[in-house]
Structure 1
Amino acid sequence: MTATEMNGRSRFAELVKLQTQGRRFIDSDQERKILEDGVVRYGLTLDEAVGMLRSATDNGSIALEGEIGVSARQLLKTLADRRNRVARDDFDRAVAFYKARASGGISGADAQRRVKRMMEELDLQPKATGRLIRSRRWYRMIEA
């Protein structure tokens, strides 16, 4: 490894520290920008840049949206019934899970929007609630 490569690695490590400082959550756009900088500006491979970013986030207890999304999608699939519908209580559980995994780095409304987007990506439908008049209004009220 040449001195230039070592210098690029150390500079990228410092950039990652700077970008993650004071944060609890990094969304996928921010993650992509950091990785792009590592590859384009500092001459790292994508695997090296990902490894350095993951190391920094693990050490700082910072959540990455991509990692949370994988486990939240699995949870939604598990909570859905055989007709691919998710009940309101189960949706609320998925939102609480997402928010907890994000280490409080996002608001409850933002977590709801993200889980709703995941449901749409997975082709899951909301289950109607109510005793006399059954409705999916609870789901429609979540801003997209």
Structure 2
Amino acid sequence: MTMTDSAVRGRFAELVKLHLQGRRFLDREQETKLLEDAVTRYSLSLEEAQATIRTSAEALGVVLARELDRPTVQLLKTLGDRQGRVARDDFRKVVAFYRARTGAALTEADGQKRVKRLMEENEIAPRRQGRIVPTRRWYRAIEA
């Protein structure tokens, strides 16, 4: 007995809802795992799987990391100076923005790691901080 396309999509949608239950944030790794299941086990196209995940996440109020990354990078670039470097205080504001969008589902340290990763992926540099000898120690202290 073969299942119809709509039944397959419906089963995958139920799997997604199960994974999203009780969460406020879905990171890239978790989303990738769901997409792999959709393509391999349910024979859905990547576009169908992404649409199902996005729809279920919106319905349950879950934020997807992939959709949060773009506005976060735009904010980093906006707050950067003429050379595109981000000051420590602005970095903290971006981390607060990121955490607020996730419904504070992330700790401060996790938020810092994620924002630092976005800075590195988009080649956004930290600005030196300090009175006597300005350094980027504040940025290097964040574990990647």
How does the TM-score come out when normalised to structure 1? 0.92
1:23 is the counterpart of 2:23: yes
Match of 1:52 in 2: 52
**Does structure 2 retain, via aligned residues, the 8 Å contact 1:79–1:86?**
yes
**Does structure 2 retain, via aligned residues, the 8 Å contact 1:38–1:44?**
yes
| Distance apart, 1:135 and its partner CA | 2.3
| Distance apart, 1:16 and its partner CA | 0.7
4+ long deviations beyond 3 Å: none
| Distance apart, 1:3 and its partner CA | 4.7
Alignment of 1:1-144 (within 5 A): 3-144=3-144
SS in 2 for 1:125: coil
Identity %: 52
**Does structure 2 retain, via aligned residues, the 8 Å contact 1:5–1:43?**
no
**Does structure 2 retain, via aligned residues, the 8 Å contact 1:95–1:111?**
yes
Distance 1:42 1:15 in 2: 11
Distance 1:17 1:119 in 2: 31
In structure 2, the gaps of 5 or more residues are none
SS in 2 for 1:11: helix
How does the TM-score come out when normalised to structure 2? 0.92
**Does structure 2 retain, via aligned residues, the 8 Å contact 1:84–1:125?**
yes
Letter in 1 for 2:11: R
In structure 1, the gaps of 5 or more residues are none
| Distance apart, 1:47 and its partner CA | 1.6
